Structure 1
């Protein structure tokens, strides 16, 4: 029997993404978020949701662009810090020793040490309550060569990305492959 749970943000898994922006003084900043995902195939788009109170919110509103840097598990401490410190009064790159790189596609920085980067231009902003959702068209993707397969596509196991568990407030690595998508379910097709 299922138990009723009060509506909350308990969906899982949620990504650990680091959103890069420049502030009004051109200082690079990065913020970790968990409320985000792919939201359109054609054109390719991804969305991030931020509270208005965040420093990153103002930077996205001002410049209309952002990057998403996906950290590997070896940078879990830095990614956590990016989510708990404010860029308003902290240089997060200096504090962690990580490297901001100016995107050549959008006017925003990304984290050089992170293996997978998405460069996005805001195409829609949706006020949702406490959060504002920024829908960004993916204008560019950068990936370390060592995380690409023979077809030039990023591999999750090579990126070594991890997720955030909203129920336990922990970061979790990804497990083994459990099946081939768009294939294993074909046994039910008639």
Structure 2
């Protein structure tokens, strides 16, 4: 029997994405978010939702661009830190020892040490209550060669991302392969 729970934000899982932006003084900043995802395939778009109180919110509003750097498990501590500290008070790149790189296609930095990067130009903002959703057209993608297969496509276990469980507040690695999408369910189509 199912039990009813109070409506809240315990969707499982959520991504661990590090959103890069420049402030009004051109200082690079990065913050970790869990509210985001792909929202359109043509043109390719990615959305992130931020509270207005965050330092990154103002920077994205001013610059009209952001990056999403996807960390691998070896940088879980840095990603956690990026979500706790405010760029208003500290230089997160200097504190973490990671390297900001200026995107060559949008007015935002990304994290050099993270293996997979989306570069987004804001095309729409949606006020949703406590959060503002930034819809960004993906105008560039960067990937370390070490995470690409022979066809030049990223391989998830080589990127080695991790997810966040908002209920337990735990980071988790990606698990075993369960099957291939658009394939394992075919048995119901017979």
The 5 Å alignment of 1:109-188 reads 109-188=109-188
TM-score of the superposed pair, with normalisation by structure 1: 0.99
Structure 2 unmatched runs, 5+: none
User: Aligned partners of 1:156 and 1:8: how far apart in 2?
Assistant: 29
- The ranges of structure 1 where at least 4 consecutive aligned residues each deviate by more than 3 angstroms after the TM superposition are none
User: Aligned partners of 1:137 and 1:150: how far apart in 2?
Assistant: 27
Q: Say which SS state the counterpart of residue 12 (structure 2) adopts.
A: coil
CA RMSD of aligned residues (A): 0.5
Partner of 1:34: 34
Partner of 2:98: 98
CA deviation vs aligned residue, 1:51-110 (integer Å, no higher than 9, x gap) = 000000000000000000000000000000000000001000000000000000101000
Q: Say which SS state the counterpart of residue 118 (structure 2) adopts.
A: strand
The 5 Å alignment of 1:52-91 reads 52-91=52-91
User: Aligned partners of 2:178 and 2:13: how far apart in 1?
Assistant: 16
Shift of 1:189: 1.2
Aligned residues: 190
CA deviation vs aligned residue, 1:99-128 (integer Å, no higher than 9, x gap) = 000000101000000000000000010000
Shift of 1:155: 1.0
Q: Say which SS state the counterpart of residue 89 (structure 1) adopts.
A: coil
Q: Say which SS state the counterpart of residue 87 (structure 1) adopts.
A: coil
Shift of 1:17: 0.1
